[in-house]
Amino acid sequence: MTPQLMVQPSSLMASGVQMREFGGVYLFRFSDELQSRFETLLDRQKTATLTADEMAEYAGITELQRIFTLINAQLAAQSKWCPVQPDSRLGNELNSSVNTATPPNT
């Protein structure tokens, strides 16, 4: 594991986080301002033009996004509108299959 310098995700919580209702469940989301900043940093990261401070900010926002994804997935799984409960899928790995499409020979 490589240590990484980042802005602490908790420092973004006070002004950058909202809860919005979706399907009868409240989920965590970035505020419009934090989402816009994240997209700006993402664009700059893709072009390798981030400063060291911006790289730390980008890393912190990305980590917060991962945390929200996990929490929101758990909230969705516990709600009535989630069609598949995670516990019902456990143990079925051996019986799972994947649909694949094979392109025609050209």
**Length reported for the chain:** 106
Q: Does some domain include residue 99? A: no
Pairing of strands 17-22, 25-30: antiparallel
How many domains is the chain partitioned into structurally? 1
Q: Find the DSSP H helices in 1-106.
A: 13-16, 32-46, 52-78, 86-89
What residues make up the domain containing 51? 9-78
The tens digit of pLDDT for each residue in 37-68 reads 999 999 999 999 999 999 999 999 999 999 99
Q: Which of 41, 35, 45 is nearest to 12 (CA)?
A: 35
Spatial contact of 10 and 61, defined as CB atoms under 8 Å apart:
no
Q: Does some domain include residue 87? A: no
Say what the pTM is. 0.67
* DSSP tag of 55: H
Q: Does some domain include residue 30? A: yes
Give residue 7's pLDDT: 84
